Structures are given as C-alpha cells and as structure tokens.
C-alpha cells in the first residue's frame, strides 16, 4: 500500500512539475484577484480564506497536517530535546533574511527567555542577513551573498560540538541561506542542517547566484541526499500562494512561526515536563483555534483596516505600541512595508517596551543609527507623541491586565485603537476610540504556558491585515500584485521582471529592458548598463521610488520612461495610473 501511495504521489508531482515552473510562493492566489476593489471588511474576509490554506493545504500538496511533515517535526523536537537536556557545547541556530530572519530572532529570543527564566543555559542563536539593523529596517542586499551567510554561521558556531541549524527561506531561494546550508553539508559531523520553506523542492531557485558556483536547487539536491542518509531535514509543507503575490511575510511567515514554535514547544515540554504528553497535531490544532478566533472578529478587524486605510490615504502614519512581545509583531509588520509597498519608513513604525533592553538583541543598542532605530515607548513619547495629528493612528498591543499610562495619548488628536487579549477596566478602555478584544481559547491545559505565542500570532494576523489592507485601500496594489515593490534584492528583481512581463503582456526580455530603463532613467541603455550584474542594478534601484510602476506603465503603453513618469506624477495613486494605462492601451487597440 505504501508503495502504491508513493507511486501515485510521484505521478501527481510529476504532472504538476511538468506544468508548473513558478514557485508556489510567487504565484497569484486566485482568492484575492479582486482584493484591490474590495471593501475593508471584504479584504479581511479574503485574507481569512487565504490564511485557511495554512491549515487546510493547497491543491493536494503535502501541507502542515501531512504525516511526513508531522513526522519530521517530531524528529526535530526529539533532537532539540536531547540538546536541551545536555546543553554543553550544543547550539540551535535559526537563520534567515527579512521576515524569516526576524522570526528566527523572535523564536530564539522567546525560547532562550524560557530557559533563562528557569535557570537554564540559553542555547538558541539567530542570524539575520544584514545583522540586527535588519530587525527593523529591510537590509536586503546581504540576502544575496552566500559568503556573508557562511561567515556569520562560522562565527556563531565557533567552539560548538554540535549544531542544529535551521535555515529559513520561504521561497527556497535566499543565497545567504544557500551558503550556510552548503557549509553545514560540508561539516555534517558537527551540523544537522534543516531547510525550512514553502515550495516543493523541484521549485527551489535554479538561477545562478552571483560570485558563487551553485544554485539554490543544487544545494537542495545535496541536502535531499543528506536527508536520505538521516543527516538533515527539508521541511517544506505547501501553504498556498500569498494573498498579495510573493508577500511571504504573510502566510509563509505565519507558517514559519507555527512550525518553529511547534518544534521547540514540543522539545521543551518533553525535556522539562516529560510527564506531560505532547503531540504535533495537538499543537497545530491550537494555532488553528487561534486562527478561528481571530477571524471570527472579521468585522472589527475590517473596521480597523478602514481606519488604517484612512490614515495612510490622508498622509498620516500608523504607530504600533507594544508593551511586551506583541511589540515584536508590530516591529516586524512595520519593517516590511517599505520593500513590499514602497512605503516610507515613517508610514508605519513599531515601538516596544524598553526598546533594546527588552529586545536583548546581539548587537545591543542601535539607536545611534538614527531616528528609525529609536524603538522604545519612551522614544515614542519623546519623538512622536507631541506632534501627532488627527490623521495619525496609534495601535496599542496589550497582554497585561493593567495598561501602563502613556502620558499624553488621551489628549492627543490622533486615532487610538487597542488590541487586547484581556478584559480591561472601563476607565482604561475609555482612552481609546476603538478596541478589539480577542479572547483566545486555551484548549488543553498543558498549552497554557505557551499562550503568549498564541497572542503573538493572533497579533501578527491582525497587523498583517492592517498594513496589507491599508496599502490596498491606498491604491498600492493592482489586482493582488504589489506593483510598487522595492527592487532591493535578486528575488525582487526577478519578481519585478515577472510583474512587468505579466501585466505589460510583453516578453521577459522586453520586461527586463523596461525595468533597466526605469532604474537608469534612460531611453537608451549603455553597453555597461546592459552588461552589469543584477547586484549592480539593485544597488542603483534600491534608493529610488516607483521604479516598477514607471517601468510597468511604460511597458503597457510602449512609451518612453519619461512619459510613464509624467503619467505617474499626474496620477499618484498607482492602481489608478495602471488602470488608466491599460484603458488607453485598449482604446488604442480598438
């Protein structure tokens, strides 16, 4: 029977393989094609349907609840448990780029805190491309460098006997992670490499990596061989395409958090409370129950999305104030808005408790890097609160029963919203214009100590809806495509070409030319520009705005870059500009 199942699975896979070459994490989700014309509540309803695929699976692919996924998680939990019971010389390293790196940090921090609070040695470590600065601002260039990845991993594991390494890259694509996996594969006596991502392995990136001799797919193939020999793991359940195409901070990010926490919750329970039974499925179900609770508040979350949309459309900002680890969700959510939506660093910002003291990040206080690195609630009170306007929105994220006073917030003219997980007294609630109160199910009593993790993912779902919805309402999305993304790394360069190719109905080669002409502001590319490596294009593109919309409008109209820029200047809402371009193209054709 097993053999038959295996054969039929491989037939399905081959069929799919033959007809699909696009990674699932980069595909359009048909559920959200009309998200750009939905109401605020409609947007949340669509996100609810999309997020359901995290648990329900997608198009018959192996998902979270597949036996293979759950078996691998159990094995990893046992490996981690053994390290926790005998930690000397052992390390668990979580690594990634962008949101994946931030989740690596958050998970390592969370489980180290648990160890420290019970007098045990912390054994978790995190690596993020671009270092700690990337925890709040996107630093995407180092994501493309496998050598930087290797160097960071080597340094963090010096002197360790055994390392469980988990490299997270939702798209199975980041060169930073590819380098680290390759390094682990060459030192299997010391490292157990794990790849965590959300595409089938045959859809791993097979494009050359600059200044390196392997593609991501080649590394995956070597890891597959190691996995067969019992020396590594590939954890790649499919959770379906993202609601906003390619926005892996959303479903893939949530699934990353669920998978990592499930492994380590199980590991901690079995290491320190062996009498308490745990199983992967129960842990997954507990997250699904949180999902159900969050989206049973679709109407309230929709209201919040509408308020946030109003703020952004009127030139206001959104500020998250997190009194505890919920603030980490706020900071992570805010940090992704510039690369995803071409937002400014002022559009959405996150502040957290006592800032770096609370964060306990490896590089310590980074506030000397400028105002965007001032992250404590005190900083918010000094830098932001006195000049808040009525178009600004402050969202307080709260777990505790009583809320520390935020001097001056009540008197401020801004809109004030509270997302809370506890019953608060009326006098506290009266400070807010709108309150969303989520009462999460505890379920099995053994899950109670892990409730904060549930509050975090609930917060992530709500805040992802807020920023996605607000940017959709601001017209930053066409259909479900983030047309104003920043071209700040290799993956995003190729994504931009794909967007221009698809919406501009042109060839890949032409799409690439329009993109380069937009990056270099020219109608005629020089031989140097044409031959420059992608890293060079990214360097020039990173600091500029509206590169992709300009290239796209030029491609649709087959016009000059100058004319496309003029059209975008006259129609600042990008969706409207694209619609107009498409409309005039149709009129020309008829």
Does residue 200 belong to the site contacting ligand F1P (CB under 6 A)?
no
Q: How many residues bind ligand F1P (CB under 6 A)?
A: 19
- Per rule CB under 6 A, is residue 257 in the interface with ligand F1P? no
- Please choose, out of 60-68, 95-103, 316-324, 448-456, the segment that lies near ligand F1P by the rule CB under 6 A: 95-103
Minimum distance of ligand F1P from residue 100's CB (angstroms) = 4
From candidates 152, 174, 499, 574, binder to ligand F1P by CB under 6 A: 174
Q: CB-based burial of residue 275 (10 Å sphere; 0-12 exposed, 13-18 middle, 19+ buried)?
A: exposed
Segment contacting ligand F1P (CB under 6 A): 98-106, 227-235, 399-407, 551-559? Answer: 98-106
Q: CB–CB of 145/179 below 8 Å?
A: yes
Closest CA to 136 of 358, 466, 461, 373: 373
User: What is the rounded distance in angstroms from the CA atom of residue 369 to the CA atom of residue 143?
Assistant: 21
Helices (H), ranges, 174-215: 175-185
Mind giving me the DSSP string for 342-360?
Answer: ---TTTEEEEETTTHHHH-
Residues 311-370 touching ligand F1P, rule: CB under 6 A, are 336, 339
For position 97 contacting ligand F1P by CB under 6 A, the verdict is: yes
Q: Report if residue 248 touches ligand F1P, rule: CB under 6 A.
A: yes
> By CB under 6 A, is residue 170 in contact with ligand F1P?
yes
Quote the tokens at residue 308: 């946030």
72, 235 contact by CB (below 8 A): yes
Structure tokens, 247: 């926005």
The least CB distance from residue 197 to ligand F1P, in Å, is 7
Whole-angstrom distance, CA of residue 181 vs CA of residue 217 = 12
| Residue closer to ligand F1P, measured from CB, 482 or 581 | 482
Residue number of the CB closest to ligand F1P reads 98
C-alpha closest to that of 126 among 89, 180, 173: 180
Cβ contact 396:319 at 8 Å? no
Comparison of 241 and 355: residue with beta carbon closer to ligand F1P: 241
Q: Contact region for ligand F1P (CB under 6 A) — 13-21, 167-175, 359-367, 501-509?
A: 167-175
d(CA 235, CA 94): 14
Distance, in Å, from the CA atom of 573 to the CA atom of 578, rounded to the nearest integer, reads 9
Nearer to ligand F1P, 298 or 332 (CB): 332
Calpha distance 289→23 (Å, rounded): 29
E strands, 55-161, are 90-96, 124-128
- Neighbour order of strands in the sheet with 318-322: 348-352, 318-322, 393-398, 415-420, 434-437
Return the number of the residue (97 or 578) whose C-beta is nearest ligand F1P: 97
Q: Which stretch binds ligand F1P (CB under 6 A): 45-53, 163-171, 455-463, 470-478?
A: 163-171
Structure tokens at 262: 């499930």
Contact call for residue 100 and ligand F1P (CB under 6 A): yes
Contact call for residue 98 and ligand F1P (CB under 6 A): yes
Q: Which one of residues 48, 72, 205, 249 is an interface residue with ligand F1P (CB under 6 A)?
A: 249
Interface pick for ligand F1P out of 171, 342, 355, 475 (rule CB under 6 A): 171
Structure tokens at 100: 């994946």
Residues in 115-154 at the binding interface with ligand F1P, rule: CB under 6 A: 140, 143
CB nearer ligand F1P, residue 174 or residue 306: 174
Give 20 or 303: the residue with its C-beta nearer to ligand F1P: 20
- 127, 104 contact by CB (below 8 A): yes
Residue 173 binds to ligand F1P (criterion: CB under 6 A): yes
Least Å distance, CB 495 to ligand F1P, is 8
Piece in contact with ligand F1P (CB under 6 A), picked from 231-239, 372-380, 485-493, 512-520: 485-493
Angstrom CA distances, 567 to 56, 120, 479, 574, 584, stand at 43, 61, 20, 10, 12
Binding residues for ligand F1P, rule: CB under 6 A, are 96-100, 140, 143, 169-171, 173-174, 248-249, 336, 339, 489, 491-492
């Amino acid at each position: 029977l097993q053999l038959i199942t295996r054969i039929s699975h491989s037939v399905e896979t081959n069929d799919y393989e033959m007809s699909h070459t696009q990674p699932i994490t980069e595909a359009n989700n048909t559920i959200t094609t009309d998200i750009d014309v939905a109401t605020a509540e409609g947007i949340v309803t669509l996100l609810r349907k999309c997020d359901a695929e995290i648990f329900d699976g997608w198009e018959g692919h192996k998902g979270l609840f597949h036996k293979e996924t759950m078996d691998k998680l159990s094995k990893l939990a046992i490996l981690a448990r053994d390290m926790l019971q005998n930690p000397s010389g052992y390390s668990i390293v979580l690594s990634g780029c962008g949101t994946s790196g931030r989740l690596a940090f958050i998970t390592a921090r969370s489980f180290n805190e648990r160890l420290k609070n019970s007098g045990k040695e912390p054994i978790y470590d995190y690596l993020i491309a671009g270092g700690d600065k990337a925890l709040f601002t996107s630093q995407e260039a180092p994501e493309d460098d496998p050598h930087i990845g290797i160097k960071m991993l080597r340094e963090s594991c010096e002197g360790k006997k055994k390392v469980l390494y988990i490299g997270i890259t939702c798209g199975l694509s980041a060169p930073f992670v590819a380098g680290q996996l390759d390094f682990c594969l060459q030192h299997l006596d010391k490292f157990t490499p794990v790849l965590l991502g959300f595409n089938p392995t045959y859809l791993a990136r097979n494009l050359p990596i600059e200044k390196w001799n392997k593609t991501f797919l080649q590394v995956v193939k070597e890891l597959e061989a190691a996995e067969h020999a019992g020396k590594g793991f590939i954890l790649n359940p499919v959770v379906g395409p993202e609601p906003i195409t390619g926005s892996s901070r959303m479903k893939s990010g949530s699934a990353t958090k669920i998978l990592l926490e499930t492994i380590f919750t199980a590991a901690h329970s079995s290491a320190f409370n062996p009498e308490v039974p745990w199983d992967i499925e129960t842990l997954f179900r507990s997250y699904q129950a949180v999902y159900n609770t969050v989206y049973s508040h679709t109407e309230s979350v929709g209201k919040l999305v509408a308020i946030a949309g109003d703020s952004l459309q009127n030139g206001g900002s959104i500020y998250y104030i997190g009194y505890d680890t919920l603030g980490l969700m706020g900071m992570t959510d805010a940090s992704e808005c510039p690369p995803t939506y071409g937002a400014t660093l002022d559009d959405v910002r996150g502040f957290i408790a006592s800032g770096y003291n609370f964060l306990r990040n490896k590089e310590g206080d980074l506030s000397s890097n400028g105002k965007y690195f001032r992250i404590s609630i005190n900083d918010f009170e000094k830098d932001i609160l006195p000049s808040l306007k009525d178009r600004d929105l402050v969202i307080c994220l709260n777990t505790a029963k009583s809320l520390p006073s935020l001097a001056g917030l009540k008197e401020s003219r801004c809109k004030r919203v509270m997302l809370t997980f506890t019953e608060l007294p009326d006098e506290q609630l009266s400070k807010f214009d709108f309150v969303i109160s989520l009462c999460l199910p505890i379920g099995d009593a053994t899950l109670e100590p892990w409730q904060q993790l549930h509050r975090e993912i609930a917060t992530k779902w709500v805040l992802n809806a807020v920023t996605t919805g607000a940017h959709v309402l601001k017209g930053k999305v066409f259909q479900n495509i983030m047309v104003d993304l920043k071209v700040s790394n290799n993956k995003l360069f190729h994504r931009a070409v794909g967007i221009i190719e698809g919406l501009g109905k042109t060839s890949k080669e032409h799409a690439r030319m329009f993109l380069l002409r937009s990056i270099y502001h020219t109608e005629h590319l020089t031989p140097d520009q044409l031959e420059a490596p992608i890293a060079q294009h990214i360097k020039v593109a990173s600091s500029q705005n509206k590169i992709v919309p300009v290239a796209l409008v030029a491609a649709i109209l087959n016009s000059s870059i100058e004319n496309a820029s003029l059209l975008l200047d006259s129609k600042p809402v990008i969706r409207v500009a694209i619609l107009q371009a498409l409309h005039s193209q149709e009129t020309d054709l008829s």
